[in-house]
Amino acid sequence: MSDVKEHRLKHVDQKRRRLLGRIGSLAGISILSPTFLLAAGKNQAIAGSNRRAPSYRGVGQGPFDVDLRLRAQPDTAPILPGTPSEVWRYTAALIHGPQNTLTSLGESYPGPLIRLHRGQRARVRLENRLPEDTTVHWHGLHVPSDVDGQPRLPIKPDEDMTVAFDVVDRAGLYWYHPHPHGRDGGRVGFQSYAGLAGPLIIEDETERALGLPDGDQEMILVLQDRRFAGDNELTYLGGTGSMMTRMRGFLGDRILINGRPPEIREVGTQPYRLRILNGSNARIYKLAWSDGRPVTVIGTDGGLLARAQPQPYVTLAPAQRIDLWVDFSDATIGNELRLVSDHYRAGMMGGMGGMMGNMMGGSGLPAGARFDLLTLRVTHRSRDGRSLPTVLNDDLKPPHMTPNTPIRRFDLATQMMRGFSINGRQFEGTTVADDEIVLLGDTEIWEFVNDTMMPHPMHVHGLQFAVVERQKIDDQRGWSELGGGLVDAGLHDTVLVLPGERVRIALTFTDFEGFYMYHCHNMEHEDNGMMRYYRVRS
């Protein structure tokens, strides 16, 4: 036991030692300090002090077009003015490959933007320098099961794992984040909250030929909400600590973009492409423009839509991405346009959300609160020949359905005192039921029926699917104001299922056999068991 302690403590400096005393008085609140984990983390793997030989997964044959090192480690990062916050974060190094493969999103904690090109063969050495198990999941990517960063293949503290895969997905914005799950529940919520998440872009020739805004005219925005204690310390209400958090998911009281408070960005009189990832644990954004102009959607999780789609607003649930076009060509110098998250009613307890939240030591920014995200100020003239292409994509291939395509039904329900379930089941590792086995090459319709009081962003690993039907079959239970912003066109890996809705998706299981996951991407829901494996076999 004593060398476990030593192992964990080696990350702990004087300030963190002092912190330990303070944490004791904040019941139910975990502060992002390894010291706290030492006291609270009985689900952490016991780490040996000898580093084992690195393990290798995925395609074995080089040469590799891209070779990266990605390390997860405790660190500090400037988030709010004043003292830097303790975080867990990814740092990366390019060992071999195009120079633009890695770019920083700024000074704060989010992982670097990884830019890959369709057709590349990539290899990434994952290094765990955290005091607990982790994995790296490539959210949205079509990769072999053992490269997918699933909880069944954890990387232990001070160990490495090398994964290699072919980049086969459409051009689009994807992301990477941890996916560990221990005996006492998941650690996805905690670890990504601590700072372990980053965006990943895939490019291809078809998209490049469109000449969409790039360089300064392409903005990558990672939206997250966080909560801070005293000296800029990130705090997280553990998923097992509070019933409210378990049911609703964790909500912060401050919004961060790329790990910093919302800011003003200067723009010219030209079009911009905003590529937005909702990297929050549980918050759903209702994205709108401050002047009421329509939101022009050009892409979703799985890349560009066939045609741009104007929306009054866009509902963006955790893990989802949206690609927006906004044009300032006719704007007057000095004008400002704000991207906001508009107000919506969040459940039957909507009005009570704030009050309940505060009572539970909770959010000053309840679900459905209105706030500003980003201010774009037109500061200069710039000439740009670009206009929005009428056809963005003509090779969008949704799964091929026939009248005989089988339908597999998944009931989303509330488990008394235990969070949420899928077909009455909660997470049990790679134990799959008969109705969770699919055949390689098959196309199926999966039907999610939400009979709970909460929206559930349902995510399927390893593929992109099409949303083929959305029906209200019951009362919306106070969440209907998000309905007008759902973008069901295009390809997705995460679909929001509102209370009282039945949503059907079409998916095809190609190339890879083995275990994959499907789950709610409200991270506190998944960590508390609203997650299952499915198995692809031939």
Angle at 428 between CA 423 and CA 429, to 5 degrees: 125
- Least CB distance from residue 176 to ligand C2O, whole Å? 9
CA atoms of 321 and 492, how far apart (whole Å): 9
- Pick out residues in 314-353 that bind ligand C2O (CB under 6 A): 319
Q: Does 458 bind Cu ion (CB under 5 A)?
A: no
User: Which stretch, 37-45, 192-200, 392-400, 453-461, contacts Cu ion (CB under 5 A)?
Assistant: 453-461
Look at residue 229 and give its three-state secondary structure: strand
SS3 45: coil
Which of ligand C2O, Cu ion, none does 16 bind, CB closer than 5 to 8 A by kind? none
CA–CA separation, 114 and 97 (whole Å): 12
Beta strands at 218-226 and 254-257: parallel, antiparallel or unpaired = antiparallel
Residue 217 DSSP one-character state: G
Instruction: Confirm if 499 and 454 have CB atoms less than 8 A apart.
Output: yes
> By rule CB under 6 A, what count of residues binds ligand C2O?
10
**Are the CB atoms for 473 and 501 separated by under 8 Å?**
yes
Among candidates 331, 284, 326, 321, which has minimal Cα distance to 308? 326
Contact 79, 49 (CB under 8 A): no
Phi, psi of 353 (to 5 degrees): -50, -50
Out of 126, 257, 482, 517, name the contact with ligand C2O by CB under 6 A: 517
Q: CB 232 → ligand C2O: shortest distance, Å?
A: 27
Q: Which of 117, 170, 425, 459 lies at the binding interface for ligand C2O (CB under 6 A)? A: 459
- Rounded to a whole number of angstroms, the minimum distance from the CB of residue 188 to ligand C2O is 7
91-94 CB contacts, 8 Å cutoff, 24+ apart: 92/68, 93/68, 93/69, 94/66, 94/67, 94/68
Q: How far apart are CA 320 and CA 315, in angstroms?
A: 9
Burial 458-490 (b: 16+ CB within 10 A, else e): bbbbbbbbbbbebeeeeebbbbbbbeebbbbbb
Helix (H) or strand (E) holding 18: helix 14-23
Query: CB of 304 within 8 A of CB of 329?
Result: no
Site mask for ligand C2O (CB under 6 A), range 254-293, x = bound: ----------------------------------------
Report, in Å, the least distance between residue 494 CB and Cu ion: 8
Which amino acid does the sequence have at 236? Y
Nearest CA to 129 out of 83, 191, 174 is that of 191
**Which among Cu ion, ligand C2O, none contacts residue 522 (Cβ within 5 to 8 A by kind)?**
Cu ion
**Region near ligand C2O per CB under 6 A, out of 127-135, 392-400, 418-426, 513-521:** 513-521
Transcribe 186-211 into DSSP letters. E-HHHHHHTT--EEEEEE-HHHHHHT
Which residue's CB is nearer to Cu ion, number 138 or number 328? 138
x/- mask, Cu ion, residues 92-111, rule CB under 5 A, reads: --------------------
Asked if 522 interacts with Cu ion (CB under 5 A), we say yes
Closer Cβ to ligand C2O, 89 or 139, answer by number: 139
Residue 246, interface with ligand C2O (CB under 6 A)? no
> Are 122 and 114 within 8 A, CB to CB?
no
Residue nearest to Cu ion (CB): 520
Residue 283's binding partner among Cu ion, ligand C2O, none (Cβ under 5 to 8 angstroms by kind) is: none
Stretch that binds ligand C2O, among 17-25, 328-336, 361-369, 516-524 (CB under 6 A): 516-524
Candidate residues 71, 125, 156, 179; the one interacting with ligand C2O per rule CB under 6 A: 179
Indicate which of Cu ion, ligand C2O, none lies near residue 142 (CB less than 5 to 8 Å, by partner kind): none
Site string for ligand C2O, 91-130 (x = CB under 6 A): ----------------------------------------
Beta-bridge partners for 273 = 218, 325
Residue 519 in contact with ligand C2O, rule: CB under 6 A: yes
| 143 vs 220, beta carbon nearer Cu ion | 143
Interacting partner of 8 out of ligand C2O, Cu ion, none (Cβ under 5 to 8 A depending on kind): none
Q: Stretches 52-60, 105-113, 408-416, 514-522: which one binds ligand C2O (CB under 6 A)?
A: 514-522
Q: Where are the alpha helices (DSSP H) in 26-138?
A: 34-40
Nearer to Cu ion, 79 or 520 (CB): 520
* Binding partner at 179 among ligand C2O, Cu ion, none, C-beta below 5 to 8 Å by kind: ligand C2O
Q: Which residue has the tokens 């490049």?
A: 208
Residue numbers at the binding site for ligand C2O (CB under 6 A): 137, 139, 177, 179, 319, 459, 461, 517, 519, 521
